[in-house]
Amino acid sequence: MNKKITKLAGAVVFLILINIGLFSLAAIKLTSFWISWIFIHIAFLIFAGILIFSAPEQRKLKFAYSETAVAAYYFIIELIAGYVLLTYFVFIPVISFVIQTVILAVFLIAFFMLKGMNRDIDRKEDAAKADLRQFQAILEFMKDVQSQVDYSAPYKKTIQHAYDAISGSQVKSSPAVYEMEKNIWDLIGQLKKEVAAENEERINALCRDIENQTAERNRRLRMER
């Protein structure tokens, strides 16, 4: 909250300085002056609003392509354009209006395209996190089954091999293997029941199935690279 107040106070001071500069440039306040004045204030308010009130941008895009940076570019370009237009096109307000409207339109297009890119990055990051949680759950489930096996059980090594196959797999997932991961989960659930019943034959068969399914999952993921 204190940071926002500090930024807001800084923005107010900067806006006052801009107005002092603008009013000192124009002895006579013609239509072209007020057009530039309005557009410069629009640009400043957009930039200040994004800088002060938007959540911090934690994107994979470089800062140069962040929403804050694009708003800053727009403000700087508009400030320069406004100064040039109110100085050299003081008697041609139509040109001043058209040029600054085009600058604003270009900014809005770029800004909303960037927001779309950021939303796409968010979706991909959320999907990656969901994949990670899903595979970690499979690994934890298999680890739980493994912990229930007595050290002297004849099928302990078989279960250990199945666990190693899963733990050594690629963590990153893909929609192409979601169904296969569900099958692995179901097989581990069956394995847990058979371990409780100490059914060695079924345990060996299920462990082979888990290893085969895991190997096929890994093969498909490699093919997607």
Residue 121 has pLDDT above 50, yes or no: yes
Per-residue model confidence (pLDDT) at position 55: 59
Are 166 and 140 contacting, i.e. CB atoms less than 8 angstroms apart? Answer: no
- Residue 15 inside a domain? The answer is yes
HEC string of the chain equals: CHHHHHHHHHHHHHHHHHHHHHHHHCCCCCHHHHHHHHHHHHHHHHHHHHHHHCCCCCCCCCHHHCHHHHHHHHHHHHHHHHHHHHHHCCCCHHHHHHHHHHHHHHHHHHHHHHHHHHHHHHHHHHHHHHHHHHHHHHHHHHHHHHHCCCCCCCCHHHHHHHHHHHHCCCCCCCHHHHHHHHHHHHHHHHHHHHHHHCCHHHHHHHHHHHHHHHHHHHHHHHHHC
CA distance linking residue 122 with residue 128, whole number of Å: 10
Q: What is the pLDDT of residues 53-103, one digit of tens each?
A: 875 554 444 544 678 889 999 999 999 999 888 888 878 889 999 999 999
Dig out the tokens for 87 from the structure: 């100085």
Instruction: Look up residue 84 and give its amino acid.
Output: V
User: Does residue 139 form part of some domain?
Assistant: no
When mean pLDDT is compared over 37-41, 65-69, 111-115, 126-130, the highest value belongs to 37-41
Give the residue numbers spanning the domain of 88.
Answer: 2-124
Residues 97 and 180 in one domain: no
Q: Do 95 and 31 share a structural domain?
A: yes
Residues 122-148 have pLDDT tens digits of: 777 666 666 666 778 888 889 999 888
Let me know whether 90 and 161 are in one domain: no
What CA–CA distance (Å, rounded) separates 108 from 133? 37
Say how many C-beta atoms besides its own lie within 10 A of residue 126's C-beta. Answer: 10
Model pTM above 0.75: no
CA dist 26 to 33, 37, 161, 177, 218, Å?
A: 7, 11, 82, 67, 70
> Exposure of 100 by Cβ count < 10 A (0-12 exposed, 13-18 middle, 19+ buried)?
buried
Mark whether 120 and 29 lie in a shared domain. yes
Rounded Cα distance between 128 and 174, Å, is 9
Average pLDDT over residues 155-170: 90
pLDDT at residue number 58: 47
Weakest-pLDDT range from 97-101, 177-181, 198-202: 177-181
Sorting pLDDT into bands at 50, 70 and 90, what band is 162? very high
Question: Does 133 map to a domain?
Answer: no
Number of domains observed in the structure of the chain: 2
Sorting pLDDT into bands at 50, 70 and 90, what band is 170? confident
Whether residue 92 is found in the same domain as residue 24: yes
The verdict on residue 130 lying in a domain is: no
Q: Is residue 32 part of a domain?
A: yes
Q: What percent of the chain has pLDDT over 90?
A: 40
pLDDT band at 174 (very low <50, low <70, confident <90, very high): confident
Residue 210: what pLDDT?
Answer: 93
Residue 143 lies in a domain: no
Paired tokens of 86 = 């109110």
